[in-house]
A and B are shown apart, each in its own frame.
Chain A
């Protein structure tokens, strides 16, 4: 038995959460399938009008990504709370804020990151030009960590509440509207050959702020739940 550093504890927590996500595959895949299906239904329902599809593509993909992340959030802390692991996390050698940060990273890996990797393929259905697909990928790469971070606050506030999904959406969706707007504007700008970097810079700023402050808020909420 040897001692390990705080960063090793965090890595262990990320690895544990990813293993759990793999073992309960059907739950993890639920959000991903939701994303793929919702995005694919639009081209099927609207027909092959290229111009219209190109116009709605960024909005559809961002809204679907947002809702898919919402779907997967309710279990982020609730499972650990139900089986008593949250108490052990709170008593860990590592501060709860960092543990929340690690859990958010793990959450991003099994939702945001998968959505991100699927998005270029799904975007092809909307006849998006290649430059727009690149920008969509970049915008999702920057924006999805922000969804997971801010989402963790909602998940932490609703720990212990049964069927917390609707409540999380009510709490968190208003906060995520700026991400949605900036993300879609960036892709729109790229489609219309306008400068899109401004929107991406703003998204980066939001993501950085959220990933710093959200764990503090979530950890405070979890401490109140445990008290």
Chain B
């Protein structure tokens, strides 16, 4: 259970949002909507523990995440608006080093399987990622969802630069994660069709936060 109490965010002297009380139980998705610059990404970075909030606290199972950093991080997968890939490494090498950062050693079969779920096969996954298109990079980065077994997904604009097929795979993942595995998701998107798509597959969005 991930909850926030009276969370506020300030950038420079400007207050972006304040008094945010959120609670995300297993099986819940928090869908964060808002205009550019309204502080969606800031909220996600704060929830991931990368930035500190101006005021308020974030709790994981009732404990402040500053106090239980290790247990919280073990359950957390944060994918920011950038694809965290090294341009000189191949898709396989990138995923290998990303999983190693989580303290896990994946085998080559596991990685190629995860990539094939995202319809990346053959030569593509051996190429340096600088040669891939933006959409392919996004798929490689999202393949972490299939590879790592984490309870909390914090995803910043994951639908960006994905094509229709890619969006379908992502929606499928979200559905499995929430309905089958009863895990938690925090997601942002400025594209309203994505909201509609997730809503259609989940019958309802648990929490829609509009900044």
Per-residue CB proximity of A73-85 to B under 8 Å, as 1/0?
0000001000111
A45 at the interface (CB under 8 A from B): no
Residues of B within 8 A of A1 (CB): 99, 104-107, 110, 147
* Residues A84 and B103 in contact, CB atoms below 8 Å apart: no
For window 58-98 of B, CB contacts with A under 8 Å fall at 70, 73-74, 76, 78, 80-89, 93, 97-98
Chain B nearest Cβ from A98, distance in angstroms: 12
Residues of A within 8 A of B88 (CB): 19-20, 23-24
Q: In the complex, A91 Cα to B86 Cα: how many Å?
A: 17
- CB within 8 A of A91: which of B48, B93, B110, B128? B48
Q: In the complex, A92 Cα to B86 Cα: how many Å?
A: 16
- CB within 8 A of B87: which of A5, A83, A227? A83
Per-residue CB proximity of A1-44 to B under 8 Å, as 1/0?
11111101100110010011001100000000000000000000
B51 at the interface (CB under 8 A from A): yes
* Residues B89 and A4 in contact, CB atoms below 8 Å apart: no
A94 at the interface (CB under 8 A from B): yes
* Residues A92 and B110 in contact, CB atoms below 8 Å apart: no
For window 67-122 of A, CB contacts with B under 8 Å fall at 79, 83-85, 87-94
* Residues B110 and A94 in contact, CB atoms below 8 Å apart: no
A124 at the interface (CB under 8 A from B): no
For window 18-68 of B, CB contacts with A under 8 Å fall at 48-52
Chain B nearest Cβ from A204, distance in angstroms: 32
* Residues B78 and A87 in contact, CB atoms below 8 Å apart: yes
B165 at the interface (CB under 8 A from A): no
Chain A nearest Cβ from B56, distance in angstroms: 16
* Residues A94 and B101 in contact, CB atoms below 8 Å apart: yes
* Residues A87 and B80 in contact, CB atoms below 8 Å apart: yes
* Residues B52 and A85 in contact, CB atoms below 8 Å apart: no
Interface size on B, residues (CB 8 A): 35
B102 at the interface (CB under 8 A from A): yes
B100 at the interface (CB under 8 A from A): yes
A205 at the interface (CB under 8 A from B): no
> Closest A-chain residue to B141, C-beta based?
A84
Residues of A within 8 A of B99 (CB): 1
Take A1-B110, A91-B78, A93-B73 as given contacts and tell me if A9 and B101 are in contact as well, using a CB distance cutoff of 8 Å.
Answer: yes
* Residues A83 and B85 in contact, CB atoms below 8 Å apart: yes
Chain A nearest Cβ from B105, distance in angstroms: 5
* Residues A16 and B70 in contact, CB atoms below 8 Å apart: no
- CB within 8 A of A20: which of B70, B81, B82, B89? B89
Q: List 16 A-B contacts (CB under 8 A).
A: A2-B104, A4-B105, A5-B103, A12-B97, A13-B100, A16-B86, A16-B97, A20-B88, A23-B128, A83-B87, A85-B84, A91-B73, A91-B101, A93-B101, A226-B50, A227-B50
The 4 closest A-B pairs by CB, nearest first: A84-B82, A93-B103, A23-B88, A92-B101
Point out residues on A near B: beta carbons under 8 Å: 1-6, 8-9, 12-13, 16, 19-20, 23-24, 79, 83-85, 87-94, 226-227
